[in-house]
């Protein structure tokens, strides 16, 4: 008998087949979204779980499933998992860093550009049959090249966006992060560490890439938006909740900043109605890592972690590797 695992959402059939060589796999080909009660029910008897951001793993769920040994997230962020509660119970947690870095940086840059140059707003105008003449100021946006690119959260993805801006578009890069990059990493991209207030004040295009935690909840709220340039754009590819969406909608309505690009939302898949109603917001459904190749690499890496964790191996990207030695 193979150990039993749950694959909580629909994923690539090839990945299910790989897992089935090691495990008795219960999968979800209908791609049903489980309520917490349904998830708890389906985890009964399972020693491992392959999950996504739609599954929440908390202490109560873990206490009801003491046989669970590993929770492998198909995402780099893991704010859907109570890692401390997992560690306390010896449950291995893993994520999927690195494999998505460049794909996600591509998207962050694209979303910033679409926002600055009003790509989706002008496309809607054309599709609505409203394009009947040239006009000198029609959809005039903000330049990207040569502008100051602000990055809040200089992890791997932030560095990828900075590299694109500095090397590809001649942007000046300012960033704020808890820790400064070593000089040999700042140098090639001309990146300048600044305090948060300076970042807000100087950015022409501010991109938010910081992981969500209690410390970064509403890191961009009304007070921060008030410090930005009225011509600035704000792009969020981090997590809903890092930006205060209601405060952002208000700032856009009052013309405090020029435009926003959002791939993540508080309470997604719900989107704040005032953001939906605004023209100067580019909205995408949490797809920054969604290239076919990268989604496959993420699924494979989550599977690698699950297989290693349950067969005595070393999971390649454990979040709490200390549980392995315990
Ligand atoms: C997606 O948001 C991820 O964390 O991978
Ligand atoms: C987050 O983990 C990142 O890669 O920026």
Ligand 1 center to 6 CA (angstroms):
20
β-strands 70-73, 92-94: how paired? parallel
* Encoded tokens for 156: 């791997």
Domain boundaries, the chain: 4-97+292-325, 101-283
| Closest C-alpha among 326, 246, 319 to residue 278 | 246
Predicted confidence (pLDDT) at residue 137 exceeds the cutoff of 90: yes
Q: What is the pLDDT of residue 175?
A: 98
The class (CATH top level) of 4-97+292-325 is alpha beta
Residue 95 to residue 35: CA distance in whole angstroms: 22
Is residue 269 reached through a cis peptide bond, with omega within 30 degrees of 0 on the bond before it?
yes
DSSP string for residues in 220-246: BSHHHHHHS-TT-EEEE-S-BTTB-HH
Q: What is the pTM of this model?
A: 0.96
Instruction: Name residue 176's beta-bridge partners.
Output: 152
Q: Which ligand minimizes its atom distance to the CA of 319?
A: 2
Q: ipTM beyond 0.90? A: no
Q: Which residues contact 254 (CB under 8 A, 6 or more apart)?
A: none
In the structure, which protein residues have their CB atom closer than 6 angstroms to any atom of ligand 2? 76, 97, 101, 155-158, 209
Predicted confidence (pLDDT) at residue 326 exceeds the cutoff of 80: no
The response to whether residue 211 sits with its C-beta less than 6 Å from ligand 1 reads no
Contact (Cβ atoms closer than 8 angstroms) between residue 241 and residue 212:
yes
Predicted confidence (pLDDT) at residue 57 exceeds the cutoff of 70: yes
For 151, other C-beta atoms within 10 Å of its C-beta total 28
Q: Which ligand minimizes its atom distance to the CA of 287?
A: 1
Mean pLDDT calculated for residue range 132-139 = 97
Predicted confidence (pLDDT) at residue 7 exceeds the cutoff of 90: yes
Q: Do 4-97+292-325 and 101-283 agree at the fold level?
A: yes
Residue 288 to residue 99: CA distance in whole angstroms: 13
Q: From its phi and psi, is residue 233 left (phi > 0), alpha (psi between -120 and 50) or beta?
A: beta
Predicted confidence (pLDDT) at residue 63 exceeds the cutoff of 90: yes
| Closest C-alpha among 237, 285, 290, 287 to residue 260 | 237
Predicted confidence (pLDDT) at residue 292 exceeds the cutoff of 90: yes
- The fold adopted by the segment(s) 101-283 is Rossmann fold (3.40.50)
* Encoded tokens for 217: 């909840």
- Which residues are known catalytic residues? 239, 268, 286
For 46, other C-beta atoms within 10 Å of its C-beta total 22
Contact (Cβ atoms closer than 8 angstroms) between residue 67 and residue 91:
no
* Encoded tokens for 202: 């100087």
| Ligand 2 closest atom vs CA 209 | 5
Task: Identify the burial level of 85 via C-beta atoms within 10 angstroms of its C-beta, where 0-12 means exposed, 13-18 middle and 19 or more buried.
Answer: middle
């Amino acid at each position: 008998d193979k150990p039993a695992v749950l694959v909580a959402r629909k994923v690539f059939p090839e990945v299910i087949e790989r897992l089935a060589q090691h495990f008795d796999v219960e999968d979800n080909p209908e791609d049903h979204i489980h309520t917490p009660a349904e998830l708890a029910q389906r985890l009964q008897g399972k020693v491992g779980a392959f999950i996504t951001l739609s599954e929440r793993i908390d202490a109560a769920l873990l206490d009801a499933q003491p046989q669970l040994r590993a929770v492998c997230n198909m995402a780099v962020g893991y704010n859907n998992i109570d890692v401390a509660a997992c560690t306390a119970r010896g449950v291995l947690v893993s994520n999927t860093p690195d494999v998505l870095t460049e794909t996600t940086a591509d998207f962050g840059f694209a979303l910033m550009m679409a926002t600055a140059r009003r790509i989706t707003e002008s496309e809607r105008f054309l599709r609505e049959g409203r394009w009947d003449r040239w006009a000198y100021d029609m959809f005039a946006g903000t330049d990207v090249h040569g502008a100051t690119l602000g990055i809040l959260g200089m992890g791997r993805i932030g560095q990828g966006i900075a590299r694109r801006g500095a090397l590809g578009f001649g942007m000046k890069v300012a960033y704020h992060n808890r820790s400064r990059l070593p000089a040999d990493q700042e140098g090639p991209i001309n990146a300048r560490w600044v305090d948060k207030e300076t970042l807000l004040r100087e950015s022409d295009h501010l991109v938010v890439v910081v992981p969500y935690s209690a410390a970064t909840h509403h890191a961009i709220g009304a007070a921060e938006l008030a410090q930005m340039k009225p011509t600035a754009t704000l792009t969020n590819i981090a997590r809903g909740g890092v930006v205060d969406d209601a405060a952002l909608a208000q700032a856009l309505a009052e013309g405090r900043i020029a435009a926003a690009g959002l791939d993540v939302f508080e309470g997604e898949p719900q989107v704040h109605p005032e953001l939906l109603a605004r023209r100067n917001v580019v909205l995408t459904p949490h797809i920054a890592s969604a290239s076919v190749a990268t989604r496959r690499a993420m699924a494979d890496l989550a599977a690698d972690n699950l297989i290693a964790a349950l067969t005595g191996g070393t999971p390649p990207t454990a979040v709490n590797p200390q549980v392995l030695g315990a």
